[in-house]
Chain A
């Protein structure tokens, strides 16, 4: 039994401190996954918090066959799709851009570098927003989270082969989108 499984088992018995540790271990990954999929930082934070709240509520249905984080990604994916259904994507405002935070930027005293990092995320988010939810998911999980197709397939309920095809198609679309906005070659 892995330390993660022990923590989850404790949380399933109602140990809130164990769940707090699970939160600490996964919050950045879930936030990052969400952040690239929604236009503003506030939305990303709201969804991230909601993912953990739902995870707590549904903890009894988790079966430790697969990594707990994959289960969280799956909850996040459903939440993102719900949000997109309720409010169609709109381009992020400059204010939202100013809200972006990431650790390299946090650690950098250079405001320009911080702004560039924020701009990059903004461009990526807008380009990703043109793709289907599954396509967005497969690209972020594959290239930002470095996951293999098997794990991505578990999260998206697809075969590894289907995820591979999906990745290829989505990446072509994303490249076209970024090229169209002059981002790739800039």
Chain B
């Protein structure tokens, strides 16, 4: 983006009469990038006087005139053509019906409407560059005109454009990604025009935040030469987000998550609409640290890969609670990476404290949960509240656990289907850790996971997740097998009832 701007400025200077060296002198930091680009541009500019040979011009003119005099222009031909009948279907009908022009017209209309409907339905999965994509845009335009909430429409359609860009990325259709992102930017531009007269609900802000996160992810996924495709969109989305945030009547609920405190206790309190929960209790004690990592703990609940339901997981890599949800579209599916556990009130010897940072999933339910291990002795919590129809808000708490008791107390969420996970700043690592999630009340799907306030990390660990009842998706989790050394742990997961899958639980000891 910067480079583009610098180059455009440099090129304008050239067109104003500055020479190359003086232009480069104005951009000392960008000189290495700008010089070859300017030189290439100058090479192209140098042939601006290239013309066809005089002979070619002359002979072609003569030949062309001879040919076009024998070929009337299309406009002229069209004017001379007799007018066609209105209803071309008329003579395809049996004579009695064909005599009635109303029947012909109605039949033609019915065929036309059914054809249009089928085409429109088929077009809904079209991507930019596909033949049916213009049909999709047209049908969206109709929806837009019929809608009484234009802001919501713009957000919805911008989300669609983003989803299309992501789908195109997976197919490697980078040229078409440009089209999708150009349309995305149009949606944002139209959204901005509405802002002065429209109240912005908190949901809109969180959906925009999701989009920013998704753009960042898309940017990371694109190969290097294509990464600049996303820059404009990302900047614009960030700008819009900055503009809408002050317009919100109230802050999004998820932003009210507890702030980190320096107490040795930590509470993990999932709030609304959980799509998933990952209670992980791995007994491990390291003196003053309550640790739930498998190296030191005894038996602990371990989720198997691709599990639909909630399951306690302790990973060998992580000690502290490092939930990091990454957004993914189409319904959050929590996927635990080998390094992750759910909310772990723990700290490994290597990683003194938890750095929870959660970004939302989106869609109908479920969540993506990809905690990354970060070890510090003074963990900072970075709550990033997101909300929406079905994402997950995971706002883990910031604080370390150094006391001998760890208590994780999630409460049932009531969101639209995602998961809000807002651990409170109380973690008590004690010799006994008990994680007992209870079902949440997510409307859209996924699981609500409400661990009970007890986390016992020492000799015995009990994790008892109970499934939520979301409609949109269960939870997927991919924990790694974990070595355990502690005396005993009990994991009692109950299958979830989400549409996407129930929980699978694998306990290892």
Task: Report B89-142 residues with CB < 8 Å from chain A CB.
Answer: none
* Interface assignment of B25: CB less than 8 Å from any CB of chain A: no
Contacts of B72 in A (CB 8 A): 14
Per-residue contact bits, chain B 74-94, to A (CB 8 Å; 1 contact, 0 not): 111110000000000000000
Instruction: Tell me whether A103 and B41 are in contact in the complex, defined as CB-CB below 8 angstroms, given that A165-B232, A171-B7 are known contacts.
Output: no
* Interface assignment of A80: CB less than 8 Å from any CB of chain B: no
* Closest residue of B by beta carbon distance from A59: B73
Inter-subunit contact B69/A16 (CB<8 Å): yes
Instruction: Tell me whether A168 and B3 are in contact in the complex, defined as CB-CB below 8 angstroms, given that A13-B76, A16-B68, A56-B68 are known contacts.
Output: yes
Inter-subunit contact B47/A49 (CB<8 Å): no
Instruction: Tell me whether A124 and B73 are in contact in the complex, defined as CB-CB below 8 angstroms, given that A106-B53, A176-B36 are known contacts.
Output: no
Alpha-carbon distance A150/B265, docked complex (angstroms) = 60
Inter-subunit contact A165/B67 (CB<8 Å): no
* Interface assignment of A31: CB less than 8 Å from any CB of chain B: yes
* Interface range, A side: 35 or more
Contacts of B185 in A (CB 8 A): 159, 161
Alpha-carbon distance A177/B185, docked complex (angstroms) = 31
Alpha-carbon distance A173/B344, docked complex (angstroms) = 48
Instruction: Tell me whether A159 and B182 are in contact in the complex, defined as CB-CB below 8 angstroms, given that A13-B76, A20-B61, A49-B64 are known contacts.
Output: yes
From residue B261, how far is it (CB to closest CB) to chain A in Å?
A: 46
Contacts of A52 in B (CB 8 A): 60, 64
Contacts of A103 in B (CB 8 A): 49-51
Inter-subunit contact A158/B74 (CB<8 Å): no
Interchain CB contact (< 8 A) of B228 among A27, A60, A165, A183? A165
* Interface assignment of B63: CB less than 8 Å from any CB of chain A: yes
* Interface range, B side: 35 or more
Contacts of A35 in B (CB 8 A): 50
* Closest residue of B by beta carbon distance from A146: B48
Alpha-carbon distance A103/B49, docked complex (angstroms) = 7
* Closest residue of A by beta carbon distance from B39: A184
Inter-subunit contact B47/A58 (CB<8 Å): no
* Closest residue of A by beta carbon distance from B52: A31
Inter-subunit contact B40/A161 (CB<8 Å): no
From residue A158, how far is it (CB to closest CB) to chain B in Å?
A: 7
From residue A159, how far is it (CB to closest CB) to chain B in Å?
A: 4
Per-residue contact bits, chain B 24-59, to A (CB 8 Å; 1 contact, 0 not): 000000000000110111011111111111101100
Instruction: Tell me whether A60 and B178 are in contact in the complex, defined as CB-CB below 8 angstroms, given that A16-B68, A161-B232 are known contacts.
Output: no
Contacts of B193 in A (CB 8 A): none
* Interface assignment of A162: CB less than 8 Å from any CB of chain B: yes
Instruction: Tell me whether A56 and B43 are in contact in the complex, defined as CB-CB below 8 angstroms, given that A32-B50, A132-B175 are known contacts.
Output: no
Per-residue contact bits, chain A 93-130, to B (CB 8 Å; 1 contact, 0 not): 00000000111101000000000010011011000000
Contacts of A102 in B (CB 8 A): 47, 49-51
Interchain CB contact (< 8 A) of A178 among B15, B43, B175, B229? B43
Alpha-carbon distance A48/B71, docked complex (angstroms) = 18
* Interface assignment of B179: CB less than 8 Å from any CB of chain A: yes
Contacts of A124 in B (CB 8 A): 43-44, 47
Alpha-carbon distance A145/B56, docked complex (angstroms) = 21
From residue A140, how far is it (CB to closest CB) to chain B in Å?
A: 7
Contacts of B221 in A (CB 8 A): none
Inter-subunit contact A53/B64 (CB<8 Å): yes
Per-residue contact bits, chain A 137-174, to B (CB 8 Å; 1 contact, 0 not): 00110111110000000000011011011101101111
* Interface assignment of A61: CB less than 8 Å from any CB of chain B: yes
Inter-subunit contact B71/A56 (CB<8 Å): yes
Alpha-carbon distance A24/B64, docked complex (angstroms) = 11
Alpha-carbon distance A103/B48, docked complex (angstroms) = 10
* Interface assignment of B65: CB less than 8 Å from any CB of chain A: yes
Inter-subunit contact B36/A162 (CB<8 Å): no
* Closest residue of A by beta carbon distance from B67: A53
Inter-subunit contact A14/B64 (CB<8 Å): no
Task: Report B202-236 residues with CB < 8 Å from chain A CB.
Answer: 225-226, 228-229, 231-232
Contacts of B46 in A (CB 8 A): 120
Alpha-carbon distance A59/B76, docked complex (angstroms) = 9
From residue A15, how far is it (CB to closest CB) to chain B in Å?
A: 9
Alpha-carbon distance A162/B63, docked complex (angstroms) = 39
* Interface assignment of B4: CB less than 8 Å from any CB of chain A: yes
Alpha-carbon distance A124/B39, docked complex (angstroms) = 12
From residue B116, how far is it (CB to closest CB) to chain A in Å?
A: 24
Per-residue contact bits, chain A 71-111, to B (CB 8 Å; 1 contact, 0 not): 00000000000000000000000000000011110100000
Inter-subunit contact A145/B48 (CB<8 Å): yes
From residue B36, how far is it (CB to closest CB) to chain A in Å?
A: 4
From residue A38, how far is it (CB to closest CB) to chain B in Å?
A: 13
Interchain CB contact (< 8 A) of B63 among A49, A56, A58? A49
* Interface assignment of A68: CB less than 8 Å from any CB of chain B: no
Alpha-carbon distance A179/B473, docked complex (angstroms) = 53
Contacts of A168 in B (CB 8 A): 3-4, 7, 228
Inter-subunit contact A144/B47 (CB<8 Å): yes
Contacts of A13 in B (CB 8 A): 75-76
Alpha-carbon distance A92/B203, docked complex (angstroms) = 59
Contacts of B179 in A (CB 8 A): 158, 162
Alpha-carbon distance A23/B59, docked complex (angstroms) = 12
Alpha-carbon distance A184/B37, docked complex (angstroms) = 9
Contacts of B78 in A (CB 8 A): 60
Interchain CB contact (< 8 A) of A36 among B37, B47, B65, B76? B47
Interchain residue pairs A-B with the least CB separation, the first 4: A60-B75, A60-B74, A175-B36, A143-B44
Q: List 11 A-B contacts (CB under 8 A).
A: A12-B75, A23-B60, A28-B52, A52-B60, A143-B45, A146-B15, A159-B186, A161-B185, A168-B7, A172-B37, A174-B40
